[in-house]
Amino acid sequence: MTNAAISATADPSLDAGEPAGEAHSLTSDAWRLLRRRPIFWVSAGLILLFLLMAIAPGLFTNTSPTAAVLKESRATPSTENWFGRDVQGYDIYARTIYGARASIMVGVLATLFTTLLGALLGIVAGFAGGWVDTLISRITDVFFAIPLLLGGILFMSTFQSDVNTSYFVIVMKVVLVLALLGWPSITRLMRSSVLQVKPNDYVQAARALGASPWRIIRQHILPNAMAPVIVVSTINLGVYIAVEATLSYLGIGLTPPAISWGVAISAAQSGLRSAPHMLLFPAMFLSLAVLAFIMLGDAVRDAFDPKTR
């Protein structure tokens, strides 16, 4: 085929396939890749289910999670109570459904705060450079040195809750400690990501055009540096849920009468051998939720990674 013929037929065929106006951005490419992955649909479905549980537990059960039937304490699963009853005679199925709210709330809010704080500091450090970068990076190092769990235990035992502390305040306390100790990893990631994007010629071209720093960050740096942060945040969400359960299990996170998976697991410890179902169900839900978020993060990372294309 001749050169002219090749070039001539190439254009119309492209135009016929996609009318002018349609285009593939990197995001839409990632979405098309994501759509074909079953692991994405499974994790997204699970997450939606858990979110629904957190928002409207009444959709899943009519039983009150605080209705104790003491004489049926430690009842094994039956047609009446699918998951059985715990020491107090509460319906485990209802407790597990209602427990989702605390975990999801802690996970989502902690992720939101760490991402906002971490990304903001990371952008400032990476873009400004110089002594601003040094200052932020050293502060990040200081906070990074504190182990998440140890710091959490310290914080929660210093600012202890009592019976009168409201549910919301306790949740916010856990969120606060996670946000306080979780932002450094996001800051580091964002900073390195910004440093990678900044020397690109398109950023230089914008500078040459006279664009303001704010415009350069908003238009050029942020959209190109955000992908790894989104991925890590999604994975972190699962980790935060697990940490909340750990703190509750240790008795310093959420405490009864608050309902959460961690609290349920902690309570199930006493009758582990005689009534293992008390541990099984909340633990299973916890694992599923953590797994779902980590799997989602994995799938999103694969989709955004240009090397896989």
Q: Which residues make up the interface to another protein (CB under 8 A)?
A: 1-15, 20-27, 200-202, 204-211, 215, 219-220, 223-224
Residue 200 or 270 having the CB closest to another protein: 200
Helix (H, G, I), strand (E, B) or coil at 58: helix
Q: Are 74 and 274 in contact (CB under 8 A)?
A: yes
Note whether 286 and 245 are within 8 A (CB): yes
Residue 111 beta carbon to another protein: minimum distance, rounded to whole angstroms: 23
Cβ nearer to another protein, comparing 11 with 162? 11
User: Minimum CB separation from another protein for residue 251, in Å?
Assistant: 47
Amino acid letter, 30? A
State in angstroms the smallest separation of the CB of 219 from another protein.
7
| C-beta closer to another protein: residue 160 or 204 | 204
Cis link prior to 257 (omega < 30° from 0)? Answer: yes
- Of the pair 219, 287, the CB lying nearest another protein is at 219
Residue 129 in tokens: 């450079």
Q: Where are the alpha helices (DSSP H) in the chain?
A: 3-17, 26-35, 38-55, 92-128, 130-144, 148-158, 167-197, 201-209, 213-215, 222-225, 227-249, 261-268, 277-304
CB of 215 to another protein, least distance (A): 7
Amino acid at 155: F
Of 44, 172, 163, nearest to 102 by C-alpha is: 172
Query: Given the complex with another protein, which of 18 and 80 has the nearer CB atom?
Result: 18
Report the nearest approach of another protein to the CB of residue 43 (Å): 25
Nearest distance from C-beta of residue 11 to another protein, angstroms: 4
Torsion, Cα 87 89 93 98, to 10 degrees, reads: -90
Contact 99, 264 (CB under 8 A): yes
Dihedral pair phi/psi, residue 85, rounded to 5°: -125, 155
For residue 100, CA distances in Å to 15, 88, 182, 254, 296 come to 50, 19, 22, 13, 18
Q: Do residues 234 and 297 make contact, with C-beta atoms less than 8 angstroms apart?
A: yes
Rank residues 58 and 210 by Cβ distance to another protein and give the closer one. 210
Instruction: Report the nearest approach of another protein to the CB of residue 102 (Å).
Output: 37
